[in-house]
Amino acid sequence: MNYGLYLSASGVLSNMYRQDVFANNLANVNTVGFKPDVAMMRQRGPESIESDAPMGQRHRLLDRLGGGVFAGPQHLNMTPGNFTETGGALDAALNEPNAFFVASVTDPSTGVAESRLTRDGRFLVDPKGYLVTASGSHKLLSAGGSLVQVNPNLPVQIGEVGQVLQEGEASARIRVVTVSDPEHLVKEGANLLRYDGSQEDLVVDESPKVLAGFIESSAVDPIKALLDVINATKSITSNSNMIRYHDLLMDRAVNVLGRVQA
């Protein structure tokens, strides 16, 4: 087996994965409440060890080269973004890094409503008076678990602990949960996340720290994200060149050295 060729191919595939992750981060530099993904890598064992080859068939020098790298699981960087004051009556941000607003999302295939999490606090009131996310498609849940509904003909404002205020009275309070294990958060698109862990890990915050009239910017550093994309692209190019060099070397070994030996 040509170890150099396999190691170079491993480098191409792994860095393509890194490039995709970093490019997605860069594309969401202006997405409210977006959390960047961290591309993880892990070392792969040499072929003789992975296949559990007998000791007599192993080569110490080749085994020391390793088997390249694997793309590991992605992780979310939960560092909060900057908070921007908008003055919007229905804009809100969460000061705690592991806190999330909760929206109700209906599965189109089953019609069952499920809870999803978001950091995007640009809320709206739909024609029926339901408080919804910025897309207008998903209704917010109250602290008690019901949908938040208000009088659409009266001004609405969000208070400092998530109260929904109309004419100075709180008609409901927005549900805010704290996630104890962010490793189980899965992005679903539309700025929503699904929690795949135990529901007991989602703790309802009875007095959340809500920044009324603010929104949370994307946590992506645009300069760092751009440099990450460039570095991953360079690594892909370098490993691709190594594949070409190994291909040329094998060509010479077969067609030149083989002819000389003959």
Phi/psi-derived region of residue 68, left when phi > 0, alpha when psi is between -120 and 50, beta in every other case: left
| Distance, CA of 219 to CA of 29 (rounded, Å) | 8
User: Are residues 168 and 48 part of one domain?
Assistant: no
User: Are residues 162 and 150 part of one domain?
Assistant: yes
User: Are residues 123 and 47 part of one domain?
Assistant: no
Decide if pLDDT at 63 tops 70: no
Decide if pLDDT at 45 tops 80: no
User: Are residues 102 and 159 part of one domain?
Assistant: yes
User: Are residues 171 and 146 part of one domain?
Assistant: yes
Decide if pLDDT at 69 tops 90: no
| Diameter of the chain measured on Cα atoms | 96
Secondary structure (3-state) at 222: helix
User: Are residues 101 and 190 part of one domain?
Assistant: yes
Secondary structure (3-state) at 51: coil
User: Are residues 196 and 89 part of one domain?
Assistant: yes
| Distance, CA of 58 to CA of 46 (rounded, Å) | 10
Decide if pLDDT at 136 tops 80: yes
Check residue 1 and give its pLDDT.
Answer: 55
Structural domain of residue 59, as residue ranges?
3-77+220-261
Count of domains forming the chain: 2
Assess contact for 118 and 101: CB atoms under 8 A.
yes
User: Are residues 98 and 36 part of one domain?
Assistant: no
**224-256 tens-digit pLDDT:** 999 999 999 999 999 899 889 888 888 887 787
Secondary structure (3-state) at 84: strand
- Strand 75-76 relative to strand 37-38: parallel, antiparallel, unpaired? antiparallel
User: Are residues 229 and 151 part of one domain?
Assistant: no
User: Are residues 185 and 92 part of one domain?
Assistant: yes
- Which of 99, 111, 112, 171 has the alpha carbon at shortest distance from 142? 171
Assess contact for 160 and 193: CB atoms under 8 A.
no
Type of residue numbered 91? D
Decide if pLDDT at 33 tops 90: yes
Which residues make Cβ contacts (< 8 Å) with residue 77, sequence separation at least 6? 35, 36, 37, 38, 219
CA distances from 115 to 34, 104, 127 (A): 18, 5, 22
User: What percent of the chain lies above the pLDDT cut of 90?
Assistant: 55
User: Are residues 188 and 235 part of one domain?
Assistant: no
| Distance, CA of 164 to CA of 11 (rounded, Å) | 52
Pick the last residue of a domain from 200, 216, 232. 216
**88-99 tens-digit pLDDT:** 999 999 989 899
User: Are residues 32 and 103 part of one domain?
Assistant: no
Decide if pLDDT at 100 tops 80: yes
- Which residues make beta-bridge pairs with 116? 103
